Amino acid sequence: MSLTIALNRGRILKECLPLLARAGIEPLEDIHSSRKLIFDTSGGFKLIVVRGSDVPTYVEHGVAHVGITGKDTILEYGEGASFYERLDLGIGVCQLMVAAPVKADYSTGPIRVASKFVNVSRSYFEGLGRQATIIPLSGAIELAPLTGLADVIVDIVDTGNTLRANGLEAREAIAAISTRLIVNRAAQKTRFAAVQDLIDRLRQVIAA
């Protein structure tokens, strides 16, 4: 039984395609040069390419049996979703962190937080017992503290070069992030053999 896999476009897509190829799953045409969003593969799977934030939605609703996306996306999507997180692919490794202007003190009082990770940010500061106003932003997050829009940001940090270039520094780590494989709850039961075969193949590739 073939499976449909939802893939996160962008950097994760570039990193996971070679991994899938080593597991015997290669698109029959060049994904990067095509305007198509659905691709057949040499392994009998079907790939659909969507925005990262939409991968859990396609998996939860059963349009895709399996999805590959970042842990940050899974955390933001929230608990109680109808999918299982089955495998850490070990790619796209980074940190979800609080960052602030260098030497800035935000340890007391209400705080303004800019982030595209609204749910994660709210949960994190609530857990600290902090009164936080969450300001949703979808891009150029580093600009928020520089313009006075926010005191701190919550964002993905890889090398930290962008932070440093904008006078910011990483402070608290919220979560370790990497690319994960998620499986629709119903598909885990009705297509168990196919799902497990895919996971086993990817595990072997990762181990190698």
Instruction: Give the per-residue pLDDT at 146.
Output: 95
List b or e across 43-55, with b for residues whose CB sees 16 or more CB atoms inside 10 angstroms: bebbbbbbebbbb
* pLDDT category of residue 19 using cuts at 50, 70 and 90: very high
| Residue 103 and residue 83 share a domain | no
Domain with 102 in it: 94-175
Residue among 40, 26, 32, 36 at smallest CA distance from 13: 32
Please state the domain count of the chain: 2
Residue among 43, 88, 54, 33 at smallest CA distance from 202: 88
Q: What is the CATH number of the domain that holds 192?
A: 3.40.190.10
The structure's pTM equals 0.92
Any residues with CB less than 8 A from the CB of 195 and at least 6 apart, and which? 3, 65, 66, 86, 183, 187, 188
Instruction: Give the per-residue pLDDT at 139.
Output: 86
